[in-house]
Protein backbone atom coordinates (compact mmCIF):
# COMPACT_ATOMS: atom_id res chain seq x y z
CA UNK A 1 0.00 0.00 0.00
CA UNK A 2 1.06 3.62 -0.50
CA UNK A 3 0.24 6.75 1.49
CA UNK A 4 0.31 9.56 -1.06
CA UNK A 5 0.28 12.51 1.35
CA UNK A 6 1.78 12.55 4.84
CA UNK A 7 3.33 15.40 6.80
CA UNK A 8 6.22 13.43 8.28
CA UNK A 9 7.88 16.67 9.36
CA UNK A 10 5.06 17.05 11.90
CA UNK A 11 5.69 13.62 13.45
CA UNK A 12 8.30 13.82 16.20
CA UNK A 13 8.87 10.07 15.85
CA UNK A 14 8.89 9.84 12.06
CA UNK A 15 11.38 6.92 11.91
CA UNK A 16 9.25 4.89 14.33
CA UNK A 17 6.10 5.84 12.42
CA UNK A 18 7.73 4.48 9.28
CA UNK A 19 8.37 1.16 11.04
CA UNK A 20 4.71 0.97 12.08
CA UNK A 21 3.63 1.84 8.55
CA UNK A 22 5.70 -0.94 7.06
CA UNK A 23 4.33 -3.39 9.60
CA UNK A 24 0.84 -2.37 8.43
CA UNK A 25 1.79 -3.02 4.80
CA UNK A 26 2.46 0.59 3.77
CA UNK A 27 5.59 0.24 1.64
CA UNK A 28 5.80 3.69 0.02
CA UNK A 29 5.06 7.16 1.36
CA UNK A 30 5.02 10.57 -0.28
CA UNK A 31 5.79 13.14 2.37
CA UNK A 32 5.05 16.81 1.90
CA UNK A 33 6.94 20.06 2.10
CA UNK A 34 4.86 23.19 2.61
CA UNK A 35 7.66 25.67 3.36
CA UNK A 36 11.23 25.84 2.10
CA UNK A 37 12.47 24.65 5.49
CA UNK A 38 10.18 21.62 5.51
CA UNK A 39 11.02 20.87 1.87
CA UNK A 40 14.72 20.76 2.70
CA UNK A 41 14.11 18.69 5.82
CA UNK A 42 11.94 16.15 4.04
CA UNK A 43 14.44 15.72 1.20
CA UNK A 44 17.18 15.07 3.75
CA UNK A 45 14.95 12.56 5.54
CA UNK A 46 13.96 10.78 2.32
CA UNK A 47 17.59 10.38 1.29
CA UNK A 48 18.03 7.80 4.05
CA UNK A 49 14.73 5.98 3.65
CA UNK A 50 13.81 3.56 0.88
CA UNK A 51 10.25 4.04 -0.29
CA UNK A 52 9.96 7.64 0.91
CA UNK A 53 9.52 10.37 -1.70
CA UNK A 54 8.78 14.08 -1.41
CA UNK A 55 6.32 16.54 -2.90
CA UNK A 56 7.76 20.04 -2.62
CA UNK A 57 5.58 23.09 -2.37
CA UNK A 58 4.75 26.41 -0.77
CA UNK A 59 1.38 26.22 0.96
CA UNK A 60 -1.09 29.06 0.33
CA UNK A 61 -0.70 30.05 3.98
CA UNK A 62 2.88 31.05 3.08
CA UNK A 63 1.79 33.41 0.30
CA UNK A 64 2.00 36.57 2.38
CA UNK A 65 5.79 36.26 2.51
CA UNK A 66 6.74 33.84 -0.29
CA UNK A 67 7.54 35.28 -3.69
CA UNK A 68 9.68 34.78 -6.77
CA UNK A 69 12.88 34.11 -4.81
CA UNK A 70 11.23 31.28 -2.89
CA UNK A 71 9.79 29.81 -6.08
CA UNK A 72 13.26 29.90 -7.65
CA UNK A 73 14.70 27.99 -4.70
CA UNK A 74 11.85 25.51 -4.91
CA UNK A 75 12.77 24.93 -8.55
CA UNK A 76 16.32 24.08 -7.55
CA UNK A 77 15.13 21.66 -4.86
CA UNK A 78 13.01 19.85 -7.46
CA UNK A 79 16.23 18.63 -9.07
CA UNK A 80 16.65 16.19 -6.18
CA UNK A 81 16.00 12.57 -7.25
CA UNK A 82 13.52 12.03 -4.41
CA UNK A 83 11.39 15.04 -5.46
CA UNK A 84 8.36 13.68 -7.30
CA UNK A 85 5.75 16.50 -7.33
CA UNK A 86 5.03 20.17 -6.79
CA UNK A 87 2.77 20.95 -3.85
CA UNK A 88 0.91 21.09 -1.80
CA UNK A 89 -0.02 24.38 -3.34
CA UNK A 90 -3.33 26.01 -4.09
CA UNK A 91 -5.81 28.38 -2.49
CA UNK A 92 -7.24 28.56 1.02
CA UNK A 93 -9.94 31.17 1.54
CA UNK A 94 -11.26 29.34 4.61
CA UNK A 95 -8.36 30.00 6.99
CA UNK A 96 -7.55 33.15 5.04
CA UNK A 97 -4.03 33.52 6.39
CA UNK A 98 -2.70 35.28 3.27
CA UNK A 99 -4.14 37.81 0.79
CA UNK A 100 -6.08 36.14 -2.00
CA UNK A 101 -4.12 37.81 -4.77
CA UNK A 102 -0.81 36.65 -3.28
CA UNK A 103 -2.17 33.12 -2.94
CA UNK A 104 -3.22 33.15 -6.57
CA UNK A 105 0.16 34.41 -7.76
CA UNK A 106 1.97 31.73 -5.77
CA UNK A 107 -0.37 29.00 -7.01
CA UNK A 108 0.10 30.02 -10.64
CA UNK A 109 3.88 30.18 -10.23
CA UNK A 110 3.96 26.66 -8.81
CA UNK A 111 1.61 25.41 -11.52
CA UNK A 112 4.09 26.74 -14.08
CA UNK A 113 6.89 25.04 -12.15
CA UNK A 114 5.05 21.71 -12.24
CA UNK A 115 4.48 21.94 -15.98
CA UNK A 116 8.04 23.07 -16.68
CA UNK A 117 9.54 20.27 -14.60
CA UNK A 118 7.21 17.60 -15.93
CA UNK A 119 5.89 16.81 -12.46
CA UNK A 120 2.35 16.54 -11.11
CA UNK A 121 0.84 19.33 -9.06
CA UNK A 122 -0.67 18.47 -5.66
CA UNK A 123 -3.56 20.85 -4.99
CA UNK A 124 -4.97 22.15 -1.71
CA UNK A 125 -8.24 24.03 -2.02
CA UNK A 126 -10.64 25.29 0.64
CA UNK A 127 -13.54 27.68 0.03
CA UNK A 128 -11.97 28.62 -3.31
CA UNK A 129 -13.31 26.10 -5.78
CA UNK A 130 -14.06 28.47 -8.66
CA UNK A 131 -10.69 30.21 -8.42
CA UNK A 132 -8.88 26.86 -8.15
CA UNK A 133 -10.76 25.53 -11.15
CA UNK A 134 -9.78 28.57 -13.22
CA UNK A 135 -6.08 27.89 -12.62
CA UNK A 136 -6.28 24.15 -13.21
CA UNK A 137 -8.35 24.32 -16.40
CA UNK A 138 -5.76 26.69 -17.86
CA UNK A 139 -3.08 24.00 -17.62
CA UNK A 140 -2.00 22.23 -20.80
CA UNK A 141 -3.92 19.06 -21.76
CA UNK A 142 -2.45 16.03 -20.07
CA UNK A 143 -1.11 17.92 -17.05
CA UNK A 144 -1.04 15.63 -14.02
CA UNK A 145 -3.21 17.08 -11.25
CA UNK A 146 -3.74 15.50 -7.82
CA UNK A 147 -6.65 16.87 -5.79
CA UNK A 148 -5.29 16.31 -2.29
CA UNK A 149 -7.58 15.47 0.64
CA UNK A 150 -10.58 15.67 -1.66
CA UNK A 151 -13.62 17.35 -0.14
CA UNK A 152 -14.56 19.96 -2.76
CA UNK A 153 -17.48 18.22 -4.43
CA UNK A 154 -17.78 21.08 -6.92
CA UNK A 155 -14.51 19.88 -8.44
CA UNK A 156 -15.52 16.26 -8.94
CA UNK A 157 -17.09 16.55 -12.39
CA UNK A 158 -14.22 18.68 -13.80
CA UNK A 159 -11.76 16.17 -12.34
CA UNK A 160 -13.55 13.27 -13.99
CA UNK A 161 -13.77 15.10 -17.30
CA UNK A 162 -10.07 16.01 -17.34
CA UNK A 163 -8.61 12.84 -15.88
CA UNK A 164 -7.25 14.39 -12.69
CA UNK A 165 -6.32 12.15 -9.77
CA UNK A 166 -8.65 12.33 -6.77
CA UNK A 167 -7.07 11.54 -3.39
CA UNK A 168 -9.17 10.65 -0.35
CA UNK A 169 -8.05 11.06 3.26
CA UNK A 170 -9.37 9.85 6.62
CA UNK A 171 -12.39 12.14 6.56
CA UNK A 172 -14.01 9.84 3.98
CA UNK A 173 -14.41 7.31 6.82
CA UNK A 174 -16.49 9.59 9.05
CA UNK A 175 -20.13 8.55 9.58
CA UNK A 176 -21.54 11.81 8.19
CA UNK A 177 -19.28 11.82 5.08
CA UNK A 178 -21.84 10.13 2.85
CA UNK A 179 -21.32 12.60 0.00
CA UNK A 180 -17.58 11.94 0.01
CA UNK A 181 -18.14 8.18 -0.16
CA UNK A 182 -20.59 8.69 -3.01
CA UNK A 183 -17.95 10.76 -4.79
CA UNK A 184 -15.34 8.06 -4.21
CA UNK A 185 -17.61 5.53 -5.90
CA UNK A 186 -17.66 7.71 -9.03
CA UNK A 187 -13.90 8.07 -9.47
CA UNK A 188 -12.50 5.80 -12.20
CA UNK A 189 -10.34 2.92 -11.02
CA UNK A 190 -7.27 4.45 -12.67
CA UNK A 191 -7.65 7.87 -11.00
CA UNK A 192 -8.29 7.18 -7.31
CA UNK A 193 -5.65 7.68 -4.60
CA UNK A 194 -5.58 7.32 -0.81
CA UNK A 195 -3.71 9.32 1.80
CA UNK A 196 -3.57 10.08 5.50
CA UNK A 197 -2.69 13.79 5.55
CA UNK A 198 -1.11 12.71 8.85
CA UNK A 199 -0.89 13.89 11.56
CA UNK A 200 -4.34 15.23 10.71
CA UNK A 201 -7.72 13.66 9.84
CA UNK A 202 -7.34 10.33 11.60
CA UNK A 203 -9.74 7.75 10.16
CA UNK A 204 -12.79 6.73 12.18
CA UNK A 205 -11.29 3.61 13.86
CA UNK A 206 -8.54 5.78 15.40
CA UNK A 207 -10.33 9.12 15.44
CA UNK A 208 -9.14 11.40 18.21
CA UNK A 209 -5.61 10.00 18.03
CA UNK A 210 -2.71 11.45 16.10
CA UNK A 211 -2.78 10.21 12.52
CA UNK A 212 0.18 8.48 10.88
CA UNK A 213 0.86 6.62 7.61
CA UNK A 214 -0.05 3.17 8.99
CA UNK A 215 -3.65 4.38 9.22
CA UNK A 216 -4.11 4.69 5.47
CA UNK A 217 -5.27 1.06 5.55
CA UNK A 218 -8.48 2.22 7.27
CA UNK A 219 -9.16 4.72 4.52
CA UNK A 220 -8.51 2.01 1.95
CA UNK A 221 -11.07 -0.28 3.60
CA UNK A 222 -13.74 2.44 3.58
CA UNK A 223 -13.05 3.30 -0.05
CA UNK A 224 -13.33 -0.35 -1.05
CA UNK A 225 -16.67 -0.63 0.75
CA UNK A 226 -18.02 2.56 -0.82
CA UNK A 227 -17.04 1.32 -4.27
CA UNK A 228 -18.22 -2.25 -3.77
CA UNK A 229 -14.71 -3.34 -4.64
CA UNK A 230 -12.39 -5.99 -3.29
CA UNK A 231 -9.92 -4.35 -0.90
CA UNK A 232 -6.84 -6.02 -2.36
CA UNK A 233 -7.92 -5.13 -5.88
CA UNK A 234 -8.34 -1.49 -4.90
CA UNK A 235 -4.98 -1.50 -3.14
CA UNK A 236 -3.28 -2.71 -6.31
CA UNK A 237 -5.08 -0.06 -8.35
CA UNK A 238 -4.08 2.76 -5.98
CA UNK A 239 -0.46 1.60 -6.00
CA UNK A 240 -0.48 1.59 -9.80
CA UNK A 241 -2.15 5.01 -9.92
CA UNK A 242 0.39 6.54 -7.55
CA UNK A 243 3.24 5.06 -9.56
CA UNK A 244 1.83 6.63 -12.72
CA UNK A 245 0.83 9.96 -11.17
CA UNK A 246 4.15 10.60 -9.40
CA UNK A 247 6.50 8.71 -11.70
CA UNK A 248 7.62 6.42 -8.88
CA UNK A 249 10.09 3.59 -9.32
Whole-number pLDDT of residue 49: 97
For 142, phi and psi rounded to 5 degrees? 90, -5
| CATH number of the domain where residue 142 is located | 3.20.20.140
pLDDT per residue over 180-239, tens digit each?
A: 999 999 999 999 999 999 999 999 999 999 999 999 999 999 999 999 999 999 999 999
Per-residue pLDDT at 94 exceeds 90: no
Residue 115, burial from CB neighbour count under 10 angstroms (0-12, 13-18, 19+): middle
Which residue range is the domain that position 11 belongs to? 2-246
| Percent of the chain scoring above 90 in pLDDT | 98
pTM, two decimals, is 0.96
CA 50 to chain centre: 19
Per-residue pLDDT at 161 exceeds 90: yes
Residue 51, Ramachandran bin (φ over 0: left; ψ between -120 and 50: alpha; else beta): left
> How many domains are there within the chain?
1
Per the CB < 8 A criterion, the answer to whether 152 and 122 are in contact is no
Per-residue pLDDT at 96 exceeds 90: no
CA 182 to chain centre: 20
Per-residue pLDDT at 22 exceeds 90: yes
Angle between helices 68-77 and 100-117 (to 10 degrees): 30
Amino acid sequence: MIDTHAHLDALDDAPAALVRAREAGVERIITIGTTLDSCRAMLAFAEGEDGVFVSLGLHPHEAATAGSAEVEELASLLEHPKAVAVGETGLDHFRDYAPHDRQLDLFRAQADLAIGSGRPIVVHTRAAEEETLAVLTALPPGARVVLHCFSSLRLLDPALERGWYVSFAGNVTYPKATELRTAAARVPADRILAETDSPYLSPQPVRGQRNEPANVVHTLATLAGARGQDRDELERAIDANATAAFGLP
